[in-house]
Amino acid sequence: MKLFKKLSALLIAMIMVVGMVVPAMAEEAGYTLTIKHDDNITDAVDHVYKAYQIITGDISGEEGSYVLSNMKWGANAPSGKTPGAALTASELAEVKNWTSDTVKELVPTGDAQSTAVKSGTNYVFSNLAAGFYVVKDETNMGTNDKNDANSAVIVQVVGNTTITTKRAIPTVDKQVYDDEEAAWSDAADHDLYESFQFKLIATVPADADYAAYPTYKVVFHDTMSVGVAFESIASVKVGSETVPTDKYVSTATTAANNGSAESSWTLTIADIKPFVENLTAGTTVEVIYNAHLTKDVTTFYKESAASATPTNNKVYLEYSNKPGAEGTGKTVEDTVWVFSYEVDNTKVDGSNSSAPLANAGFKLYKEDGTEVALIKDGNVYRPITGDEVGVEMLSGSDGKFNIVGLDVGTYTIKETTTPAGYNTMADKTIEIAATTVENTDGASAKLTMTKNDTNNTIVNEKGALLPSTGGVGTTVFYIIGGILVLGAGVVLVTRRRMNEG
């Protein structure tokens, strides 16, 4: 009985001790680690952060100055280390010399100790035991379809701590060169078959995780609408440095991307790291390529349009988004717009505007006097391409000779063949002027015609009629002729008499 009482008293004492120790252990094990995104990027998917315990030990001190002593290898000790074993003197010296880059190269073993729970826009680990952790962003974003990025490895000796991460998400912009404005913009005007340029610009922001990427890949995915044909790559640059042709791959060809249908192509730089050492200030990747409009353009404009959808050309960027591993994300698409114009003309009789004149011939000239060589294509005339030879425009039985595929500018229509019985018309000056800008919805562009001589009635006046044979006019000539003959006879007789006298 006395022994039982002694054991009972000891058990009660042990329970009391355990009761005192457990809260202390719980307090020690109750650390939180909060990961806060501070980059103004909306998560494409909820991120999955997992914590791996590399080293454990006794923690002391206060937030911001925690000290870990009596260190042992943690539950997720790197390969070759024994979980729970105390660090040797040499291992301790090695750990003290670790840098953030060293730790990012650690490969934890075993299953993660904890997965963060999303709380608002933050991610929170709760009840973490004291230790030295590697936190990995193991979010699976799929392939090339999420505009988001993983964070690099995060290292923390746990106390109640908040860590702010900044993902670096590139953006992409497509622009088209407008020769009238001599500037790059979101919308431009061009003739059919006139060579012009598109520019693709990827802006890669400053990225503290840049060194953690094995390689940093960028891929431009370009889509050209019906009526836009690829010509050639003009230049590729990372920052101010030109990328040699053997350091990028383009799938664009003049055969496949010839404007007969919508087509897509890519330009890939497998690794921009050889061209930009770090991203402390960010960089740009720029591609300029040559293209032209073809006869397959589906819409030619003659008047203002609040939400026009002419030849629209798009690009999105695929970019590395998983530090320490291979993986890519995808930006939203950016669009530019290219306009071309139509000028409708009708040849009519000056005395009857409803009476069309057929087979009148015309040619078109630019303001500098250069002829715009045109060829008939169906019921319209358009600029020539390749080996085509320009022809004279002829008005049809309805008097029409419409022209498509013109840039903005001032032109002159000259009559080169005049219908019989009509006077050749004076040269006619026409002007096309417009402003074009992308709408805020990004899905269309606004066209405002500021001068649109795009629907012209061209008049020919009849020539003056000569009097017909046998008419009054001829009789008058006969009478006047007779009088002149009679007068000449009188003069002759008078002179003879004077001579005889």
Q: Is 18 within the bounds of a domain?
A: no
- Residue with the bigger pLDDT between 442 and 231: it is 231
Of 109, 140, 165, which closes a domain? 165
Of 338, 366, 383, which closes a domain? 338
Q: Is 21 within the bounds of a domain?
A: no
- pTM to 2 decimal places: 0.80
Identify the pLDDT of residue 486.
54
154-168, 395-409, 411-425: lowest mean pLDDT where? 154-168
Quick one: pLDDT band at residue 173, thresholds 50, 70, 90? Answer: very high
Question: Is the same domain home to 403 and 430?
Answer: yes
Question: Is the same domain home to 179 and 321?
Answer: yes
Question: Is the same domain home to 179 and 326?
Answer: yes
Residues 301, 247 contacting (CB under 8 angstroms): no
Question: Is the same domain home to 59 and 75?
Answer: yes
Q: Is 402 within the bounds of a domain?
A: yes
Q: What DSSP character marks residue 85?
A: P
CATH at 120 = 2.60.40
Question: Is the same domain home to 59 and 151?
Answer: yes
How far is C-alpha 135 from the geometric centre of its chain's CA atoms? 36
Question: Is the same domain home to 417 and 501?
Answer: no
Q: Is 149 within the bounds of a domain?
A: yes
Q: What proportion of the chain, given as a percentage, has pLDDT over 90?
A: 62
Question: Is the same domain home to 322 and 402?
Answer: no
Quick one: pLDDT band at residue 3, thresholds 50, 70, 90? Answer: very low
Q: How many angstroms separate the CA atoms of 104 and 323, rounded?
A: 10
Three-state secondary structure along 367-404?
Answer: CCCCEECEEEECCEEEECCCCCCCCCEECCCCCECEEE
Question: Is the same domain home to 157 and 213?
Answer: no
Question: Is the same domain home to 209 and 154?
Answer: no
Q: What proportion of the chain, given as a percentage, has pLDDT over 70?
A: 86
- Residue with the bigger pLDDT between 8 and 57: it is 57
Question: Is the same domain home to 394 and 446?
Answer: yes
Q: What is the tens place of the pLDDT at every residue in 332-377?
A: 999 999 999 999 999 999 888 889 999 999 999 999 999 999 999 9
Q: Is 227 within the bounds of a domain?
A: yes
Q: Is 456 within the bounds of a domain?
A: yes
Of 148, 165, 182, which closes a domain? 165
Residues 153, 208 contacting (CB under 8 angstroms): no
Q: What is the tens place of the pLDDT at every residue in 79-97?
A: 889 999 999 999 999 888 8
Question: Is the same domain home to 452 and 474?
Answer: no
Q: What is the mean pLDDT of the chain?
A: 86
Query: Can you give the residue range of the structural domain that contains 359?
Result: 341-460
Q: Is 4 within the bounds of a domain?
A: no
User: What is the H or E stretch that residue 199 is in?
Assistant: strand 196-204
Domain count, the chain: 4
Q: Is 6 within the bounds of a domain?
A: no
Residues 372, 364 contacting (CB under 8 angstroms): yes
Quick one: pLDDT band at residue 4, thresholds 50, 70, 90? Answer: very low
Q: What is the tens place of the pLDDT at every residue in 120-129?
A: 889 999 999 8
